[in-house]
Structure 1
Amino acid sequence: MDRVFIGSEAIAAGQLTEHELRRWYRPIFRDVYAARSIDPSLRDRTQAAWLWSKRQGVVAGAAAAAMHGCRWVDADEPIELIAKSARSHEGLIVRNETLAADEVTTVAGLRVTTPVRTAFDLGRHLDPEKAIIRLDALKWATFYSVDDVTRLARRYRGARGTRQLSSLLPFVDGGAASPKETWLRMLLIEAGFPPPTTQIPVMDGWRMLGVLDMGWEDVKIAVKYDGDHHRTNRAQYVKDQRRIRRLEQLGWIVIRVIAEDRREDIIERVRAAIRHRTSPRSTVA
């Protein structure tokens, strides 16, 4: 018995009785079940949605992004399908949209929108802040071409959300390693700073000292988001502290950002660093 299966098919095949189905299994979607003993993963729920569609739907949206290797998609994220039926259910979004043959691929036996079509949908259907986070994460995982997404938007000129998509595409950056890094990068851009370069390698002589989240190489200013691992992993914290000290010795200004920082304070710290670096008396090593 698969982890996720169609209940009526299992009964018809004699794999279990209706009583056993009701007692030992629970529905994820109508007539699609999983054992009560398991907590369905995102992959389980994606498989269940596809089975619910009578194996005709195409996985789309965040679930498709996860199938392509995208991180940061929660297990309880609504599953999106493109299918003829437009009836959505709890935890399931069904869109009756046009799909060309070159916009569909197969991943682990499921029909899934290609990375380019997935990006096209994410940029249209989500609110802008969440959309750019998903677009960055998908770019990190798949290296899809933004130009290809733009061409796909021309194919569906006038489709809902394409104006928002077009406004977001110039800001997509596959160097954002987490949603918080995307948030921080967009905060800097919206504050009027030049778009920072992401994933900046720094050499210390012949060896790699580290890769900076984002910053401006010409003035040696880096902005780094410190996640919870800096609080919970002492060894990592110590390693990062030593790296930052060496970066400062090499002439870098490293601005560390934590979740509790206010937007205004982050912007002012970056502005002060740029003023310092661009003043006539400042020198960059």
Structure 2
Amino acid sequence: MDLITTAIARARGIDKDELAALVATGEIWRFTRGAYYTGEHPRALAVRAQIVAAVCGPTTTVCRRTAAWLWGLDVLPPGKDAHDWPVELLVPAGDRTRPRRPGCRAYEADVPPSDVTQLGGVMITTQERTALDCARFLPRLEAVAALDQFLRRQVAVEALWSRAAALAGRRNARRLRETLWLADAGAQAPSESWTRVLIVDVGLPRPRTQIPVVLPSGAEVFVDMGYQRFQVGVEYDGERYHSSSEDRAHDAWRRAQLRECGWTLVVVRKSDVLSNPADYLELLTQKLRERGWQPSERQLTLVLMRLRMLRNREARLRRYAA
């Protein structure tokens, strides 16, 4: 760990003015008063977590989104850079040494030893505890997307349900249960999780994920999510895998093959999910009804009311931003 304190610097013959000069030239980075980092990539979240662990001592545990990042999962809010995200910590309830350093965010909680492990020299919540905290405290769409990722990592949903039962009556216990009910390990990306949750929330039937279809060519493909009974699918086109001319040509061929098999598809993009989900949800409602879905009058009224809510930006933010 390339961390030095003022005392260590003084012992090496480096005075306060020399330290300030090294900071000014960018040769070292000042983490907080009396603590300096001399290695590479000082703004990286993993590096800052290591620094915090070294400075704050063994009573602090890295948690929530920061812990998920260290476990290799990106559950940061859309558009947020890990270099700017604070190191999130759990500290014992009533601890007078609670960190108040820039770039840190501390939460009080008594953490049992079984929920803590060491990763890369950092005390961190286990994958199960991190999944539980993300599901309990993140905003709805992000919470489900985070939990989907942990389930793909083989975190046992049964264990999380058991722990959720023990938290009944505690803060965000209901949110945790709803997140667990919505979770699905079949989602291949957070954007697919968001797409699916919005479908369920608007009042449409819950879609199945990763539906296998054998194409006329003999190849087997998987529809991101949808309804095998009605042969209606929903596919999310992310920028990473659906932007190049080769990607678009493959998508066109694949979807033409799916249409030959009787499928109709609703294609969703990032702007649809983040800015105007009502459009693709309305189209999906139409496709399902054309293919035989027969909602009750009450169900249909509910769908229409929720579509109207989603068209209102302020109402949508109240529902999903907190």
**CA deviations over 1:167-193 (Å, ceiling 9, x no partner):** 221011222222221111111101111
CA contact (8 A) 2:216 2:260 kept: no
Q: Provide the aligned length of Structure 1 versus Structure 2.
A: 277
The aligned residue for residue 111 of structure 1 is 123
How many angstroms does 1:103 deviate by? Answer: 1.1
Match for 1:5 among 3, 6, 14?
A: 3
How many angstroms does 1:108 deviate by? Answer: 2.2
CA contact (8 A) 1:34 1:40 kept: no
Separation of aligned partners in 1, 2:51 and 2:154: 28
Separation of aligned partners in 1, 2:120 and 2:113: 18
The aligned residue for residue 283 of structure 1 is none
Partner AA of 1:58 in structure 2: T
Change (3 A) 1:38 1:79: closer
Pair 1:265 & 2:270 matched: no
The aligned residue for residue 308 of structure 2 is none
**CA deviations over 1:121-168 (Å, ceiling 9, x no partner):** 11232232332222223323x221222122223444443222221222
1:27-106 matches, within 5 Å, as 27-35=30-38, 38=41, 40-73=43-76, 74-75=81-82, 76-84=84-92, 85-106=97-118
The aligned residue for residue 26 of structure 1 is 29
Identity of aligned residues (%): 27
Separation of aligned partners in 1, 2:208 and 2:233: 9
Change (3 A) 1:173 1:90: farther
Separation of aligned partners in 1, 2:216 and 2:142: 40
Gap regions ≥5 residues in structure 1: 281-285
Separation of aligned partners in 2, 1:159 and 1:238: 51
**SS of equivalent residue, structure 2 residue 73:** coil
Separation of aligned partners in 2, 1:13 and 1:118: 40
Change (3 A) 1:30 1:207: farther
**CA deviations over 1:225-256 (Å, ceiling 9, x no partner):** 11223664222222122111111112111110
Deviates more, 1:144-153 or 1:111-120: 144-153
CA contact (8 A) 1:30 1:52 kept: no
CA RMSD across the alignment: 2.8
The aligned residue for residue 177 of structure 1 is 188
**CA deviations over 1:7-34 (Å, ceiling 9, x no partner):** 3464266396655543121223444433
**SS of equivalent residue, structure 1 residue 175:** coil
CA contact (8 A) 1:197 1:216 kept: yes
**CA deviations over 1:78-106 (Å, ceiling 9, x no partner):** 22111234344432111221111221122
The aligned residue for residue 138 of structure 2 is 126
Change (3 A) 1:232 1:160: same
Separation of aligned partners in 2, 1:67 and 1:46: 9
Deviates more, 1:38-47 or 1:57-66: 38-47
Separation of aligned partners in 2, 1:245 and 1:197: 21
Match for 2:252 among 241, 255, 280?
A: 241
CA contact (8 A) 2:4 2:38 kept: no
Match for 2:236 among 225, 238, 259?
A: 225
